[in-house]
Amino acid sequence: MKIEILKEIIKKKSSKEQFAVLTNLSNGNSEIFEFGKPLSKDFENYKNEIENYYNLKKNGTINGTQIFILNYIKPIEVIIVGAVHITQYLIDLIKNFNFVITIIDPREYFTTEKRFQNIKIINEWPNKALEKIQTNSNFALITLTHDPKIDDPALNHALKNKFFYIGALGSKKTHENRCKRLKEAGFNDKEINSIHGPIGIKLGGKSAPEIALSIVVQLVSETNKISLKSRN
Amino acid sequence: MSKSFEIILEKANSWIESNQKVVLATVIQTWGSSPCQVGSRMIVNEKGGFLGSVSGGCVEANVINECMELIKSKNSFKKIEFTILDENAWSVGLACGGEMAVFIEQINL
């Protein structure tokens, strides 16, 4: 692989787009594939097969050829509302996975850089902050403030924009009240029941790192479910 | 799902910037059960330093040696195949009973 390709992969990864890297195993040549862009002589004869693998996000050697394709999948975007103690542990665990994180919290004393290094933080109310982000079903929302005036607008936004995962922190009682408010806001039972609340899998712990772990497990599990669906 | 390949490629780039020769190893095919999926990667530098993984530890040492040999040789790439472990021999193999192919390639300046 040429160093230019390596540098381009690193650059492209940060632009969050889907692409693939092709390698001709018989001569070692490799190049970056983007849908619709012309291929070089090494690969142009296999255009259809390459596009097929790309669309299925499948990695491997294309049958009967010496062409290897490795897909770089668009990362899932995770919006965390609330820059609280649990969030610090959550960030620590989540960074090993292919997620792009944004933290939203209007409370300045929580969102200091000292608490969250190298993480995108929007220090505004969720409805204002979410106006600036183009969201879709590739997004996940985790609300951690259990304060309705901060969490609710974000939950409304996530339900309307069909986030694939929505999880909300709070006791069963808090969640019941939350569901009532969402119902009053016009959401149906199916939409409201799609919210994971209380958030996280049953791990049996109450400390901040344990809650963070239970949230990450649930998020990863739900993310794997959708990536399996998109393959079938 | 994992972010490790991103970290690996950035590390490869930083090794090259500090004038080290680097080989990229990629799992290109697996048969039967094997611990790492196709696309798993590892980088190796001329000193034998490595990052990432191509198996659960079964064949890493062998791949690292192959990568260091590749740096010394005139070739820029090589395909290595690993088969089922012979349990009676202290040889390299996959304890899980799988087979795999690894493509190793130099990062060329």
- pLDDT for A114 equals 83
- Percent of chain B at pLDDT > 90 equals 55
Is the pLDDT assigned to residue B52 strictly greater than 70? yes
Confidence band for B97, pLDDT divided at 50, 70 and 90? low
Q: Which residue has the tokens 């690292």?
A: B64
Q: Is residue B33 pLDDT above 80, yes or no?
A: no
Domain boundaries, chain A: 3-72, 76-229
A225 Cβ under 8 Å from any chain B Cβ: no
Complex ipTM: 0.85
- What are the tokens at B52? 């990432």
* Confidence band, pLDDT 50/70/90 cuts, at residue B94: low
CATH number of A76-229: 3.40.50.720
- Domain boundaries along the sequence of chain B: 4-106
Amino acid at A94: I
Which residues 59-88 of chain B have a CB within 8 Å of chain A?
76-77, 79
With H, G, I as helix, E, B as strand and everything else as coil, classify residue A195: coil
**Which positions of chain A have pLDDT values less than 50?**
232
pLDDT higher at A179 or B87: A179
Instruction: Say how far apart CA B72 and CA B75 lie, in whole Å.
Output: 9
Task: Please name the amino acid found at residue A144.
Answer: L
Interface mutation vs chain A, best among B3, B15, B76, most A CBs within 10 Å: B3
Residues B62-74: tens digit of each pLDDT = 899 999 999 999 8
* Token couple for B95: 């304890």
Q: What part of A 66-125 touches B (C-beta under 8 Å)?
A: 68, 70-71, 95-99
pLDDT at B88 (0 to 100): 45
What distance in Å separates the CA atoms of residue A76 and residue A10, rounded to the nearest whole number? 17
